[in-house]
Amino acid sequence: MKTFEQSRLLKSLPKQFFASLVEKVNSVRAEGHDVINLGQGNPDQPTPQHIVERLKLAADHPENHQYPPFRGKSELKQAAADFYLREYGVSLDPGKEIAILFGGKAGLVELPQCLLDPGDTMLVPDPGYPDYWSGAALAKVHMEMMPLKEENDFLPSFDDIPEDTAGKAKMMFLNYPNNPTGAVATEEFFRQTVEYASARNICVVHDFAYGGIGFDGKKPVSFLQAEGAKETGVEIYTFSKTYNMAGWRVAFAAGNASVIEAINLMQDHLYVSLFGAVQDAAAEALLGSQRCAKEISAMYEKRRDVFISSLREIGWDVRSPKGSFFAWLKVPQKYTSEEFTGLLLEKAHVAVAPGIGFGEYGEGYVRVGLLTSEERLREAALRIKKLGIF
């Protein structure tokens, strides 16, 4: 059979980091081993039943069997605006300041193509979500990394960005609660971000994927709560984590009207919006009882407490995450992050993600997803203990 060569664009894309991780886990499982997989970010619990029931009802409506409105249902956009007003005290125009997305990832990858030209510069956190790099590659733009260091609570230090770099930058990606570090941002940090970005005409894109998951009685802060944020950029809110709707592929962007219009224009050429019944169910998630969201966050907090305490009991000095469903753990000094990840998988049959997969400043750490039962998390710690490292 004839083989057609891939385009230069496809060849330029970064290697899909998680795909290779899955291959390694599957290989060990194929050998008959019970692997505790803590390496991925896929919620392990079902979508709350009232949201599922709304989908079932909406699927019966003939109007949802037709093409939906190009830019999404007004009902979902109004629900998103109502949600932000209720949860964060932020007022949004649903017609001009909300864009419906095919999952948060799609919006994050699309945005550099919406606003930047080839050769432009964007500021990206390191470590950070690898698909930020995919968006940069597709837009053919240059990335300047903003190191996230433990001594700065994994917040970027804007003072450390050379002014000539900042002057060229047209976009900045941020993500709090943070993947992979589990760090959270403060209102003061977002105020500084608005001031910094506004002075340099940088569009801020805040990835708020874990906005529903905060610990120790503290609710994660929205970027849009900072004064001037709506003029400075947008926030991406996904249903995947707050409501366990990862497979539903629904999210929205909120904020600056010109950025929202750019997203909508891009998507006009790619899609005809989401299946109407999914939009109706998403509106139910935002407007219905939020008890499920609180229970999901509380579940991750309990898992965090069990896992972190179990690791400390075996002698591993680890830092407790403040949000998200990830823990960011320091690797013993004699190992690289990939060496340590390989050891845990091969000898303890515990899968974690090496920090280097999230950027240069991820070296020295591994990322653990709190995405299995408390019992399995305890067992993972016991398996690691048997290696005799700590």
Tens-place pLDDT, residues 227-275? 999 999 999 999 999 999 999 999 999 999 999 999 999 999 999 889 9
Mean pLDDT score across all residues of the chain:
95
* Listed residues 222, 252, 287: the one ending a domain: 287
Could you tell me the pLDDT band of residue 20, with boundaries at 50, 70 and 90? confident
User: pTM of the entire structure?
Assistant: 0.95
Parallel, antiparallel or unpaired: strands 251-255 and 365-369: unpaired
Residues 300 and 355 grouped into a single domain: yes
Domains of the chain: total: 2
Residue range 117-141: average pLDDT?
Answer: 96
What residue has token string 């048997």? Answer: 386
The residue among 358, 309, 22, 381 whose CA lies nearest residue 183 is 358
State the pLDDT at residue 19: 77
Could you tell me the pLDDT band of residue 329, with boundaries at 50, 70 and 90? very high
State the pLDDT at residue 231: 95
Q: Is the pLDDT of residue 18 over 80?
A: no
Parallel, antiparallel or unpaired: strands 169-174 and 121-126: parallel
pLDDT digits (tens, 9 = 90+) for 178-221: 999 999 999 999 999 999 999 999 999 999 999 999 999 999 99
Residues 332 and 371 grouped into a single domain: yes
Residues 274 and 149 grouped into a single domain: yes
State the pLDDT at residue 106: 95
Q: Which of 2-11, 80-89, 94-103 has the lowest mean pLDDT?
A: 2-11
Q: What is the Cα–Cα distance from 158 to 154, expressed in whole angstroms?
A: 12
Residues 96 and 199 grouped into a single domain: yes
Parallel, antiparallel or unpaired: strands 251-255 and 36-37: unpaired
* 8 A C-beta contact, residue 263 and residue 101: yes
Distances in Å between the alpha carbon of 143 and those of 157, 228, 258, 290, 360?
A: 17, 25, 23, 38, 13
State the pLDDT at residue 15: 80
User: Nearest-5° angle of CA 196, CA 359, CA 256?
Assistant: 35
User: In this structure, what token pair is assigned to residue 303?
Assistant: 């898992």
Quote the percentage of the chain above a pLDDT of 70.
100
Q: Is the pLDDT of residue 22 over 90?
A: no
The residue among 330, 354, 360 whose CA lies nearest residue 342 is 354
What is the radius of gyration, based on Cα positions, of the chain?
21
* 8 A C-beta contact, residue 347 and residue 387: yes
Residue 1 domain-assigned?
Answer: no
Residues 301 and 342 grouped into a single domain: yes
State the pLDDT at residue 383: 96
Helix (H) or strand (E) holding 133: helix 131-139
Q: Which of 9-23, 113-127, 183-197, 344-358 has the lowest mean pLDDT?
A: 9-23
* Listed residues 229, 256, 287: the one ending a domain: 287
* 8 A C-beta contact, residue 124 and residue 143: yes
User: In this structure, what token pair is assigned to residue 7?
Assistant: 């385009």
Residue 215, domain extent: 49-287
Residues 230 and 252 grouped into a single domain: yes
The residue among 204, 377, 233 whose CA lies nearest residue 305 is 377
Q: Is the pLDDT of residue 167 over 90?
A: yes
Residue range 59-86: average pLDDT?
Answer: 96
Residues 194 and 305 grouped into a single domain: no
Q: Is the pLDDT of residue 137 over 80?
A: yes
Q: Is the pLDDT of residue 16 over 80?
A: no
State the pLDDT at residue 272: 86
Distances in Å between the alpha carbon of 231 and those of 17, 173, 189, 195, 205?
A: 34, 16, 17, 11, 12
